[in-house]
Structure 1
Amino acid sequence: MNLLELNWGLLAPELTIAIVAVILTFADLVMRKGDRKVFGWLSIIGIILSLYFVIQDLGQPAQELLEGSYRVDSFASLFKLIFLVGTLFVLVMSINYVEKKEIKHDGEFYYLFLTALLGAMFMASSADIITLYIGLELLSISSYIMAGIRKFNLKSNEAAYKYVIIGGVSSAIFLYGTSFIYGVTGSTNIFVIAERIQEAFNGGFDFYIYLGFFMMLVGLSYKISAVPSYMWSPDVYEGAATPVTAFLSVISKAAGFAIIIRLFITVFTPIVVEVVNNNPVFFFFNKMTLFLAVISGLTMIIGNTLALRQTNVKRMMAYSSVAQAGYLLVPLATMTMASEQLISVDIRNIIFYLMAYLFMNLGVFTVITIVNKDAGTEDLKSFAGLYHRSPFVAIAMTFFLMSLAGLPISAGFIGKFNIFISALTTKSYWLAGIMVATSVISYFYYFNIVRQMYMRPGHTEAKLSIPFSMQFVILLTFIGTFVIGLVPNVMLDFITKNFDLFNMLTLGQ
């Protein structure tokens, strides 16, 4: 393989982020003094340039690099859009967040977002377990450091420690599971594994394939904050700087779903366990979706019920994030082999909800950043009287919470409704029932914040001071949440036009 002959232009989005991260790292080393906010603006410019390259890849045939271990296809490009736009918003809201007295090495704060983003982008395009794991670790290690970057804050130290321990254990479980799959197929390339895994299953290695699947699922569940690996979320969300929490709640979660969909749909869906009355019984569609449904249901129930008891707004949003992972797992848990079109619709529903979740959740965390910093506390009472101090922010926050709760005329409602219909279509009535019941439960804790904003006197009557960068993020996320809810077909048509299941599952050029 001659590296000089490879089409490195396919890596333009990743190379852009990598180059900017390296430049900022060296600049941070040589700069003795000076405002590191410029690093944030340079990072934003790099992300915008990377976005341009990703948009150029949309609608193109699947192409591969490095002996098929890395691929640029419709699936990867859509997820990279989520990662890049989400990180862009997080960086813009971070510009006025960082204070030297709290984050001593503020230069690192900016370019660690870029290395984490690069890991997520590698995860979306990986077609080999090795490159996939490199992306996973790049994202994870950067996230560990960001969680503990407030070195003089005990909660931040605790968050980083717990995150490292749980992340390391989960990563080891995932690797151990993949080792079984490698052992029975002799390859780390997911397309080669897909070709050989049926023979291995029929050859008496079915136990190891079952074991590998479950260990991979448990190992990856921590990245999406799903049962059984959700316990880290409340402590890490509370201890980390709020922009880092926002990043973990959207970009890190979306990257976890990118891995799960890519791996499970490509590797495990071709396996036929047996044939009964001339009808094949599939390993994934007929066996494993039940376990995914149980995990999904438990994640929705646990996330929403534990959120009810929280008085710290970041811990409450952590359990909300756990519940959202449960909703996002429903399309995977209700997949059937009825037709490729239905499978494609389920994946599109996940991508749509992740895009909607990006806007509404980052909007929430931007408001939390402003309010908590102003009040000097993360308690729910910090929102008291917000409507009287800043009507626009209060109204925007109300709409974001309505969207997370799944109320009509919001992006969250359309996302949940599509997922709900997919569950009903496959007759998963009990899972659809859990969706409805837990959504109703979520109204209580989301509207605790609304009650504070409109019905409780604030600690001061002074107008809330909001930096322009955060006003900009709130405005864009509000518009995104409102427009997607009002005219969802625009986003749905965009995803349908640019996502092709056949493009995802076939070898590139």
Structure 2
Amino acid sequence: MEPLRLGLGDLGLLAPELTLVIAAVALSLIDLLMPRQASRSWLGWLSLVSIALSAAFVIAALNPAEPKQLLQFSYRVDDFANILKLVLLTGAGLITFMSIGTIREEETPHVGEYYYLLLPATLGGMIMASSGDLITLFVGLELLGITSYILAAMRKKRIQSSEGAFKYVVLGGVSSAILLYGMSFLYGMTGSTSIPVINQQLGQNADTMLPFLYLSFFLMLAGFSFKIAATPFHMWAPDVYQGAPTPVTAFLATVSKAAAFAAMFRVMYGVFGVGQLMGTTFHADVLTAMMVVAAAAMIVGNTVALKQTHTKRLLAYSGIANSGYLLVPIAIQFGFVHYGNFSEFVFYLIAYMFMNIGMFAVLMIIERSTGDEELSGFAGLYYRAPWTAAAAVLLILSLAGLPISGGFFGKVYILLGTMQTQHYWLGAVLIVTSVISFYYYFGLIRQMFMRSDFESRPVKVALPLGIAVWICAGASFVLGLVPHWVLAWIESIFTLTQDLFMFS
């Protein structure tokens, strides 16, 4: 076997990741050397600059002549990864920006650690998006997971935070073990951890290894389902979301979930979805199992959300339902009739990112002003902060999937793809559950416009939070006005055979 080498040119391909590594190390040293009483808010600006610089490197690497392979297919720099890295960095940048000057140090005493832990967490997601090898993918997954556990436990003085973080650590460790166990079967069957080699070997010897192939797939599906908070592996999400600081909750609900979906998309297509396995009974069972998980997430997430009175728990169950929507493009196989799975997935992921980060920013405004995380905290928001309420309405309309919004077109594109592939039952579940979601989303609007805050608590909007809310609301509205522009941009960059399929 040839030795694995990295030259200076290869390190240039890793510029986005190395930027975050250097920034995280530098920020940790600066935080360590600063006096205890000094404000750490300006560390947020440095963190934001590093994220922007990393995004600039990703943009410069978009649309290469051909994908770049590092360390014998272990790491890939292709447009599948580049597009998803931009989504991850945009989400991390918005969350960092809205946190500057708004995190309460009495509740989150380690503000400096918060800013520089977001960087390796985002880095872990970027590694997952570029992974061409199961070991590389698992390293990225654990980097994201471990930093997320720490971030979720930052509110030490709250019992709910400690309880949620403990549950997150235990269940996260179990899910990682299940995922790794599924990967070990793939290695045992093929003698390799490289995704293209595994696919090639499985295609040639699938008939002799079918029981272990099924076992490996279902173990990995369970592990990934936990990471994306899909039913029936979703029970950790409401408690963790409720206990974590709100910006961390926003990170877990968007950036962390997007990274898990990137890895799932890469593995499910790279290992089980292409090559000689296509058209087999096993391949059909793989797609059916993922569709069942998607349908279960949509049904459970939307129905359980109906009775929630705590805003974070409501958004947690909304996120579970959205995991189902995002899973649909992975579960319906591409073909001559329909091959826009990735563009549909990315479009809805972008819309989901903006509308959820925006809603968590609105919640932060209410928390800072009233200390209330219940739905009742939205009461009379239109009369107390009309511009914030107007932005929240745009975000809620997008979450509900009503025209004209990014969420509406995201769901429409996924629905059309489902119908084109003749999975009518799954399309019916998507439509019915979306209608069910109107009730609890419009409950928020009813609180803002038709209820009054009897305590007359004023709402003060910090500048970064206000800007972040309107960036997200504006983006959700623009995605609804010109969705074809975004789809055309994705399709002009992404090539199915070059950027998703990996052949050794």
TM-score range, shorter chain: over 0.9
SS in 2 for 1:478: helix
Deviation at 1:459, TM superposition (A): 3.8
The residue number in structure 1 matching 2:460 is 465
Structure 1 Cα separation of the partners of residues 345 and 365 of structure 2: 30
Structure 1 residue 452 and structure 2 residue 441: aligned?
A: no
Matches within 5 A, 1:60-71: 60=64, 61-71=66-76
Structure 2 Cα separation of the partners of residues 432 and 266 of structure 1: 25
Select 2:140's aligned residue among 135, 144, 147.
Answer: 135
The residue number in structure 2 matching 1:14 is 17
Structure 1 residue 23 and structure 2 residue 26: aligned?
A: yes
Classify 1:508/1:267 alpha carbon distance in 2 versus 1 (closer, same or farther; 3 Å): closer
Deviation at 1:201, TM superposition (A): 1.0
Structure 2 Cα separation of the partners of residues 446 and 146 of structure 1: 28
Is there any run of 5+ residues in structure 2 with no aligned partner, and where? none
Structure 1 residue 184 and structure 2 residue 179: aligned?
A: no
The residue number in structure 2 matching 1:258 is 262
The residue number in structure 1 matching 2:286 is 288
Deviation at 1:507, TM superposition (A): 5.3
Deviation at 1:175, TM superposition (A): 0.3
Contact 1:312 1:380 in 2 (8 A): yes
Matches within 5 A, 1:332-371: 332-336=330-334, 338-339=335-336, 342-343=338-339, 345-371=340-366
SS in 2 for 1:7: helix
The residue number in structure 2 matching 1:501 is 496
Contact 1:272 1:283 in 2 (8 A): no
The residue number in structure 2 matching 1:426 is 421
Q: For each residue in 1:401-448, what CA deviation from the matched residue of structure 2 results, as whole angstroms up to 9, or x when unmatched?
A: 111111010000000000111111111111111111111110111111
Contact 1:16 1:49 in 2 (8 A): yes
Structure 1 residue 87 and structure 2 residue 83: aligned?
A: no
The residue number in structure 2 matching 1:399 is 394
Over 6 Å off, 4+ runs: none
Opposite residue 267 of structure 2, the aligned amino acid is L
The worse-fitting range, judged by mean Cα deviation, of 98-107 and 473-482 is 98-107
Q: For each residue in 1:35-58, what CA deviation from the matched residue of structure 2 results, as whole angstroms up to 9, or x when unmatched?
A: 111110000000110110000111
Contact 2:81 2:129 in 1 (8 A): yes
Opposite residue 312 of structure 1, the aligned amino acid is H
Structure 1 Cα separation of the partners of residues 280 and 155 of structure 2: 52
Select 2:299's aligned residue among 295, 298, 301.
Answer: 301
Contact 2:195 2:502 in 1 (8 A): no
Provide the TM-score with structure 2 as the length reference: 0.96
Select 1:317's aligned residue among 307, 315, 318.
Answer: 315
Opposite residue 122 of structure 1, the aligned amino acid is I
Contact 1:269 1:283 in 2 (8 A): no
Select 1:125's aligned residue among 130, 134, 138.
Answer: 130
Classify 1:272/1:287 alpha carbon distance in 2 versus 1 (closer, same or farther; 3 Å): farther
Opposite residue 492 of structure 1, the aligned amino acid is L
Structure 1 residue 77 and structure 2 residue 86: aligned?
A: no
The residue number in structure 2 matching 1:277 is none
Classify 1:3/1:421 alpha carbon distance in 2 versus 1 (closer, same or farther; 3 Å): closer
Deviation at 1:367, TM superposition (A): 0.2
Q: For each residue in 1:288-341, what CA deviation from the matched residue of structure 2 results, as whole angstroms up to 9, or x when unmatched?
A: 1111111111110000010011000000000000000011111222225x33x7
Deviation at 1:373, TM superposition (A): 2.3
Contact 2:306 2:439 in 1 (8 A): yes
Opposite residue 25 of structure 2, the aligned amino acid is V
Contact 2:102 2:462 in 1 (8 A): no
Structure 1 Cα separation of the partners of residues 87 and 277 of structure 2: 36
Contact 1:62 1:507 in 2 (8 A): no
The residue number in structure 1 matching 2:487 is 492
Structure 2 Cα separation of the partners of residues 63 and 460 of structure 1: 60
Contact 2:197 2:503 in 1 (8 A): no
Structure 2 Cα separation of the partners of residues 418 and 319 of structure 1: 22
Contact 1:129 1:188 in 2 (8 A): yes
Q: For each residue in 1:125-151, what CA deviation from the matched residue of structure 2 results, as whole angstroms up to 9, or x when unmatched?
A: 010111100000000000000000111
Contact 1:412 1:485 in 2 (8 A): yes
The residue number in structure 1 matching 2:56 is 52
Structure 2 Cα separation of the partners of residues 472 and 12 of structure 1: 29
Provide the TM-score with structure 1 as the length reference: 0.95
Structure 2 Cα separation of the partners of residues 381 and 261 of structure 1: 38
SS in 1 for 2:280: strand
The worse-fitting range, judged by mean Cα deviation, of 193-202 and 361-370 is 193-202
The residue number in structure 1 matching 2:437 is 442
Deviation at 1:461, TM superposition (A): 4.3
Structure 1 residue 221 and structure 2 residue 217: aligned?
A: no
SS in 1 for 2:14: helix
Select 1:197's aligned residue among 188, 197, 202.
Answer: 202
The residue number in structure 2 matching 1:110 is 115
Deviation at 1:508, TM superposition (A): 9.0
Structure 1 Cα separation of the partners of residues 442 and 500 of structure 2: 43
Opposite residue 469 of structure 2, the aligned amino acid is I
Opposite residue 241 of structure 1, the aligned amino acid is P
Structure 2 Cα separation of the partners of residues 18 and 507 of structure 1: 27
C-alpha RMSD of the superposition: 1.6
Structure 2 Cα separation of the partners of residues 170 and 375 of structure 1: 37
Contact 1:271 1:283 in 2 (8 A): no
Structure 1 residue 43 and structure 2 residue 47: aligned?
A: yes
Residue-pair matches, total: 499
Select 2:329's aligned residue among 328, 331, 338.
Answer: 331
- Fraction of identical pairs, as percent: 46
Q: For each residue in 1:159-211, what CA deviation from the matched residue of structure 2 results, as whole angstroms up to 9, or x when unmatched?
A: 11010011000000000000000000000010111111112313x11111111
Contact 1:6 1:65 in 2 (8 A): no
Select 2:477's aligned residue among 479, 482, 503.
Answer: 482
Q: For each residue in 1:230-286, what CA deviation from the matched residue of structure 2 results, as whole angstroms up to 9, or x when unmatched?
A: 000100010000000101111111111101110010111236469xxxxx43632x2
Q: For each residue in 1:323-364, what CA deviation from the matched residue of structure 2 results, as whole angstroms up to 9, or x when unmatched?
A: 00011111222225x33x733x01110111001111111111
SS in 2 for 1:71: strand
Structure 2 Cα separation of the partners of residues 367 and 118 of structure 1: 27
Opposite residue 369 of structure 1, the aligned amino acid is M
